[in-house]
Amino acid sequence: MLESLVHVCLTGLAQGMFVWLVACGLTLIFGVLRVLNFAHGAFYMLGAYFCFSFLSWFGDNFWLGLIIGPLCVCAIGFLMERFFLRYVYHLDLPYQLLLTFAFVLIFDDLVKMAWGAGSLGSPKVPGLSGSVPILGRNFPTYSLFIMGAGPLVALALWAALEKTWAGRIIRAASSDREMASAIGVRVPALYTGVFVFGTWLGALGGGLAVPYVGLLTPGMGESIIIEAFVVVVIGGLGSLKGAFLGSLVLGLLSSFGTRFIPAFDMFLTFILMAVVLLWRPEGFFGEAS
Amino acid sequence: MGRYVPYLLFGLVGLVLLGIGLFSGRFVLYLTMRVMLLSIFALGYNLLLGRTGLLSFGHAAFFACGSYGMSLCFLHVTPNPLVGVFAGVCLAVLAALIIGFFCVRHTEIYFAMLTLAFGMMVFSLVWNLRSITGGDDGLVGIGRAPCLGFPIARDSQFYFMVLVFFALTVWVIHRIRSSAFGLVLAGIRENPQRASFAGVSVRLYRLAAFVISGAFAGLAGSLAAMLESNTNPFSAHWTHSAEPVLVSLIGGLQTFSGPIVGSLIFVVLREIIERFATNWMLWFGILLLVIIMGFRGGAMGRIEAFFARKATPRGEEGRP
């Protein structure tokens, strides 16, 4: 019984870190640009597909694919921000959301055209594809790797935002755009930069997801984006700390749900969100709206 | 003279729709019914988006509630279509009440995300409760028993039932928009704070608008289940929630007839694109980009602006 509980916990932590890797970019973009990016799920999907392709071109070098794949998606993110998103910041919410939704439609179909509508099987990562025995049961090594990668990204993000000069400027622009602009920050360029960086994070999450989820399908971004949204909401919109905590809670809840009440595992996620919103409408670490 | 023009136009549209019902082939009938169903969905939805200024991304859930309520009633209770539609709408209203209770505490982006997440909750229920909803297969074999003595089994007969509900929806939404209630909703959209200072319970009004739009989504869903003779779990998926938003946007958010015109454009365009290319989503995404970047008033917004400019004497343009 105890071993089983430990394994459920571990699976939950891995799942939570996996969601965090996708949600951190979304949170960052929302925190600074105040735009909720539906296309983040599409970037995740593109990241996964690019990594998959590079991986097979470079003779199964997962790490090289993981470096180059997300960079390609960055270029797409740059074009999207520079030529489209930039012109809708001042518009009403429906226009912003629908603009990013338009890109979801476009990318989903482009992926279908480029890689086919069927699903692709994931390749193995050398050194991480096996499993290690924990308390007498096997646990996938790659899940352990994800569990390590999540906090690492969180730490790097925290350090970048709190300890560096660029991070300070980003924080300034996110708390008061006009004031930052008045003291000489080039806000439009900064927004582009943050968006591209957020895109990179989403695509990186996609690349890391390739061995984790096992299957690549053209609609894979549409389900993860919902989980990422839930995490962002319960963590407090724009709060990275909250998103990290939210991911952990979400992952644990979903793995316990799958173990004990399998018919309602997805349902639990939303119950969690409803409870959090009743208890703290602004989320764990959000400012009151 | 000018103020009768809209009524004349609507009379004309009604005549055209009657003519289609009497003389058209099956394909045109089917397409027209799809346009009318989407119009019902979007007209109700625009009461929330265009009128109250709340962007919901979860209305597919209420559409699905209507579909499944109707289908479950047909399969387990009675084949009577009116009872089925009533059951579907009731289920949608119930769901809208519960979900709305949580969602109207917030506005703007918070509201959009909440509705999205709760909508997906309904989707997950539909997907997982296989014994009730049929899971990913959906419910099949929804028949059309006679309605009030009229047979509706054939498309050419069912068409008139859809037409009646469409006309009812147009009338009800029109009445709501011009009622005191509808004006309060517009007031809330323009300035919620001022509305609340004037003694309006903003949250209650928002909830009311939410539930009404949910009811129309349920109506559209229950009729759609009858039209397709099955239910599709993906009708609850969030990507389906984008449809009424798109349609309202194409037609024009701040106009009454916008959702109808938008539905017509949406369904016909989709049909054309699907005929010539397999990837309609790609082309639709591009079209959406063009609309957002360049034609934000929507089709009806453009037309209204054009006539408004003609009606104002020279030199008075731009004056409020």
pLDDT in tens, B286-311: 888 888 887 776 677 777 777 776 65
Asked if A202 contacts A47 with a C-beta cutoff of 8 angstroms, the reply is: yes
| Average pLDDT across chain B, whole number | 83
- Residue position matching structure tokens 């086919």: A116
- Predicted confidence (pLDDT) at residue B97 exceeds the cutoff of 90: yes
A61 phi, psi to nearest 5 deg: -95, 100
Stretch B170-178: mean pLDDT, rounded?
89
A61-96 pLDDT tens trace: 778 778 888 888 899 999 988 888 888 888 877 788
Assigned domain for A259 exists: yes
Assigned domain for A285 exists: no
pLDDT of A273 reads 81
A183 phi, psi to nearest 5 deg: -90, 15
Assigned domain for A286 exists: no
pLDDT of B309 reads 65
pLDDT of B311 reads 58
Assigned domain for A273 exists: yes
Cβ–Cβ below 8 Å for A94 and B117: no
**How far is Cα A229 from Cα B31, in angstroms, rounded to an integer?**
35
Asked if A269 contacts A227 with a C-beta cutoff of 8 angstroms, the reply is: yes
**How far is Cα A252 from Cα A67, in angstroms, rounded to an integer?**
29
Helices A93-115 and B238-251 cross at an angle (nearest 10°) of 120
B218 phi, psi to nearest 5 deg: -65, -40
Enumerate the residues of chain B whose CB falls inside 8 A of the CB of residue A88. 292
CATH number for the domain harbouring residue A42: 1.10.3470
Stretch B22-35: mean pLDDT, rounded?
86
pLDDT of B214 reads 93
CA distances (Å), origin B187, targets A91, B53, B62, B73: 20, 10, 26, 39
Stretch B31-37: mean pLDDT, rounded?
90
Assigned domain for A289 exists: no
Assigned domain for A35 exists: yes
| One-letter-per-residue 3-state SS of chain B | CHHHHHHHHHHHHHHHHHHHHHHCCHHHHHHHHHHHHHHHHHHHHHHHHHHCCCCCCCHHHHHHHHHHHHHHHHHHHCCCHHHHHHHHHHHHHHHHHHHHHHHCCCCHHHHHHHHHHHHHHHHHHHHHCHHHHCHHHCCECCCCCCECCECCCCHHHHHHHHHHHHHHHHHHHHHHHHCHHHHHHHHHHHCHHHHHHCCCCHHHHHHHHHHHHHHHHHHHHHHHHHHHCECCHHHHCHHHHHHHHHHHHHHCCCCCCHHHHHHHHHHHHHHHHHHHCCCHHHHHHHHHHHHHHHCCCHHHHHHHHHHHHHHCCCCCCCCC
pLDDT of B91 reads 92
Domain count, chain A: 1
- Residue position matching structure tokens 């454009």: B265
Report the amino acid identity of residue A216: L
Cβ–Cβ below 8 Å for A84 and B246: no
- Predicted confidence (pLDDT) at residue B36 exceeds the cutoff of 70: yes
Please tell me which of the candidates B125, B286, B288 has its beta carbon nearest to residue A267.
B125
**How far is Cα A199 from Cα A191, in angstroms, rounded to an integer?**
12
Q: How far is CA A94 from the centre of its chain?
A: 22
User: pTM higher than 0.80, yes or no?
Assistant: yes
Cβ–Cβ below 8 Å for A88 and B292: yes
> Per mean pLDDT, which range of A43-47, B122-126, B131-135 is the poorest?
B131-135
- Tokens coding B16: 């055209």
- Predicted confidence (pLDDT) at residue B319 exceeds the cutoff of 50: no
- Predicted confidence (pLDDT) at residue B59 exceeds the cutoff of 70: yes
CA distances (Å), origin A149, targets A16, A21, A199, A224: 12, 8, 18, 18
Give Cβ neighbours of residue B70 (< 8 Å, ≥ 6 apart).
Answer: B84, B85, B87, B88, B142, B221, B222, B225, B226
Please tell me which of the candidates B128, B246, B288 has its beta carbon nearest to residue A264.
B128
pLDDT of B218 reads 94
> Per mean pLDDT, which range of A25-29, A122-126, B72-76, B125-129 is the poorest?
A122-126
- Paired with B222 in beta bridges are none
pLDDT of B155 reads 78
- Paired with B150 in beta bridges are B147
B180-238 pLDDT tens trace: 888 888 888 888 888 888 888 888 888 999 999 999 999 999 999 888 888 888 888 88
Cβ–Cβ below 8 Å for A267 and B285: no
Enumerate the residues of chain A whose CB falls inside 8 A of the CB of residue B236. none
Q: pLDDT category, B79, cuts 50, 70, 90?
A: confident
Q: So what's the ipTM on this one?
A: 0.79
Which of B123, B269, B288 would best serve as a mutation to test chain A binding (most A beta carbons within 10 A)? B288
Show which residues on chain A lie within 8 Å of chain B, measured between beta carbons: 34, 36, 84, 87-88, 91, 93-95, 97-99, 101-106, 108-110, 112-113, 222, 226, 229-230, 232-233, 237, 263-267, 269-270, 273-274, 277-278, 281, 289
**How far is Cα B252 from Cα B297, in angstroms, rounded to an integer?**
5
Give Cβ neighbours of residue B23 (< 8 Å, ≥ 6 apart).
Answer: none
pLDDT of B18 reads 81
Task: Give the CB-side neighbour count of residue B110, counting CA atoms within 13 A.
Answer: 22
Give Cβ neighbours of residue B271 (< 8 Å, ≥ 6 apart).
Answer: B31
pLDDT of B88 reads 92
Q: pLDDT category, B315, cuts 50, 70, 90?
A: very low
Domain span including residue A268: 2-279
What would the DSSP string read from start to end of A226-249? HHHHHHHHHH-TT-HHHHHHHHHH
In angstroms and rounded to an integer, the radius of gyration of the C-alpha atoms of chain B is 20
Low-confidence ranges of chain A (pLDDT < 70): 60, 122-124, 126-127, 287-289
Q: Cα torsion for A10, A14, A17, A21, to the nearest 10°?
A: 170
Enumerate the residues of chain A whose CB falls inside 8 A of the CB of residue B238. 222, 226
Strands A120-121, A215-216: pairing kind: antiparallel
Please tell me which of the candidates A84, A233, A273 has its beta carbon nearest to residue B289.
A84
Q: pLDDT exceeding 90 applies to what percent of chain B?
A: 18
Assigned domain for A284 exists: no
Q: pLDDT exceeding 70 applies to what percent of chain B?
A: 94
Assigned domain for A233 exists: yes
Asked if B162 contacts B33 with a C-beta cutoff of 8 angstroms, the reply is: yes
B83-93 pLDDT tens trace: 888 999 999 99
Please tell me which of the candidates B249, B284, B293 has its beta carbon nearest to residue A105.
B284
